[in-house]
Amino acid sequence: MGYVELEQKIRDKTARVGVVGLGYVGLPLLRAFIRAGFSAIGFDVDETKVQKLNAGQSYIGHIPSQWIREWIEMRRFEATADMGRLNEPDAILICVPTPLNESRDPDLQYIEGTTAAIARVLRPDQLVVLESTTYPGTTREVMLPVLEKTGLKCGQDFFLAFSPEREDPGNPNFSAERIPKVVGGIEPRSTQLAVALYSHAVVQVIPVASAEVAEACKILENTYRAVNIAMVNELKVLFQRLGIDIWEVIDAAKTKPFGFQAFYPGPGLGGHCIPIDPFYLSWLARRHGMTTRFIELAGEINTSMPEYVVRRVIDALNEHGKPLKGSKVCILGMAYKKDVDDPRESPSFALMEMLLAGGAIVTYNDPHIPKLPKMRHFRVPEMTSSELTAEFLASQDCVLIATDHSAYDYDFIVRHAPLVVDTRNATKNVKIGREKIRKA
């Protein structure tokens, strides 16, 4: 079999798709290909995830178990932790984490580990596509040499491309199938095969000149958001001192039908992309003798937001004649965004650490996270979600809204809590008890 035969298998959907990393990106991607008519195999080193999936159970809140059961009933899907089976798929799509290390440099251990696992069983006529967000050059400089050490040649024996994930967890308006995909290969035939594959599963595929362009595209998208969020976060601090409501300012500005896009402040950045990707770019710039001052300043501003929020909590408690030490503070929302169970890089954990360090008695509520998970960069106490009864709210000295989940009854919360610090403008429509609300 060669390029032509693999292209034909992709065209007639007999090519088997493998997805490595069965999380918030990998599972929706599997759904897109299975719905398009492909059979798929999912790979993950977490045996617990594999067992749940093969039993038809989802472990992500906004991904229903019904999806998994349907895939299994159609005999289109199985999950495995056996990386020795990576020679079975015709196309391998990599969706593994790309965190930062302690010095905020790229941590590529998961990409490197997956690449090494693929190399051990790589066979001719496989297409490998990296989807994990990373710096420009990763696919060519990190993955390609390892795969070619097998003696197989890219563009001749196997094919390699980059296509950045664009998943928006919990957003029903943008399922994986409805989001355009950018694709860039190491060489033209790799691009062509990746375009042919994704064209079956997503609404639009945009081929670009190289893997590096595709990698840079993803970094640009998320740096754009990080920089603009930093701007409104900085303005939030300034306007608060001037007695101006930043949320009302943004609502007024977005009535302009051109030249303005609304970005909103918050308690800090969360998720797997926006808090991380700009640091990948600044690290790459340093390697090339440059500094990305604008991007690094944005990172500093966004990283400082949890500290600002805690200061606002302290000020609000002082108004009530209470110090932070010994005060009961309940954090509403540990997920990084509303209506999902995704805690990755959530600023709520930074808030919890700071409040505990200041001597506060901290609890939390999150309808999507019943028990606090272990986190890579935070010391997380053993804690379960507290029930928001009238009595519990009344017993708190301060309720801190960190994530504006739709499930919250904000009228009820404000009515029963003695003090509410709102970082998300979640209480904007609350009419009774507004004197208890402080914006942060």
Strand order in the sheet with 127-130: 77-80, 40-43, 17-20, 91-94, 127-130, 159-162, 181-185, 205-207
Block residue for tokens 């992709």:
10
Q: What token pair was written down for 202?
A: 């997503």
- Rounded CA gap, 103 and 394, in Å? 42
Q: Which two tokens stand for residue 378?
A: 């935070």
Q: 406: burial class by Cβ within 10 Å (0-12, 13-18, 19+)?
A: exposed
Of the candidates 395, 431, 398, the one whose C-alpha atom is nearest the C-alpha of residue 412 is: 431
- The catalytic residue positions are 273
Q: What are 112's two structure tokens?
A: 């490197």
